[in-house]
Amino acid sequence: MQLKSKLINLVAGLGLAALTTLAAAQSAKPNVVILATGGTIAGAGASALNSATYAAAKVPVDKLLAGLPELANVANVKGEQVSQIASESFTNDNLMKLGKRVSALVKQADVDGIVVTHGTDTLEETAYFLNLVIRTSKPIVVVGSMRPGTALSADGALNLYDAVSVAASKDAAGKGVLVTMNDEIQSGRDVTKKTNIKTEAFKSQWGPLGMVVEGNNYWFRAPVKRHTLQSEFNIDEFEALAPVEIVYGYGNVSRTALDAVGKSGIKALIHGGTGNGSVADRIVPALQDVRAKGIQVIRSSRVPDGFVLRNAEQPDDKYDWVVAHDLNPQKARILAAVALTKPMDSKELQRIFWQY
């Protein structure tokens, strides 16, 4: 009887020691929260051969995490479903809801990093938005996939694993909002979707910040534009984005769209021009009319790479217009929508486009 009691005590002691060791191991790991919004990474096709034909935003975050148990080796991971939509349907309200949740989480001492799963169509816009308005040095990583998880050679699982490994790493702190896809670590400011059918869809003309290989980060450059903790914008200080629209330039363009959006109550209009933000001669008066209504006019370019030079194609000083620098039209819209939550003139807005 005495021997049996000793054995019970020994087993209980070993169990307690094992639990203590497990608890210590868990507490040593970073804590990462995954905020899911839908998209292809949560999509499902009818068969394994459906890599481009599928329904987005079908798989909830708990099932995404259950299908990737390797994440437990990297961090203590929790998931939240913020929304469940295809990203082409993302609205300003969706951005604000997501941004407010990210801002609240990064203030918690028990959160070391954030991952946002997102559809690829507007992923770059959301990443840039968070880069502008979240005041933190903690890693924030936005991630998506080009193929649903049901497809052959699906890319979502590895992309998500890489995103968590980056969000969990101390060396990712202070580098702004990041995008991890196709083994690359990209700046959320610079990266854009450049092809719609390949897994290597996201590129920056300035190159990636680094690579992720087998869960390890290798860094080669850092962003120099203002972001996150150095930003003058704070999502906790406003409740809605300013209304901003985009109108594209093209051969035989008319002023019909410009006249329509100029009457819609917007605060800024992005002109996605040809070449160096060029504006057709018959469109110049239309943009002048828009500016005369107090609407900011911002010249961007539909050309994927390069940047718009001030007073080059158009006399921006004379017309009181702003240039978008290297931001494409969709990212220029995000910056203008954030900046114009505060009152400012065109000179102040131009400073912001140079700095961010």
Active site residues: 40, 120
Concatenated DSSP letters for 296-353?
A: EEEEEESSSSS-PPTTTSS-HHHHT-EE-TT--HHHHHHHHHHHTTS---HHHHHHHH
Q: With contact defined as beta carbons under 8 Å apart, do 217 and 179 qualify?
A: no
* Distances in whole angstroms, Cα of residue 192 to Cα of each of 46, 246, 270, 312: 29, 17, 17, 25
Residue type for position 31 = N
104 residue type, one letter? A
DSSP assignment of 13-30 equals HHHHHHHHHHHHHHHHS-
Q: Other C-beta atoms within 10 Å of 66: how many?
A: 11
Closest CA to 324 of 310, 314, 337: 310
DSSP 167: H
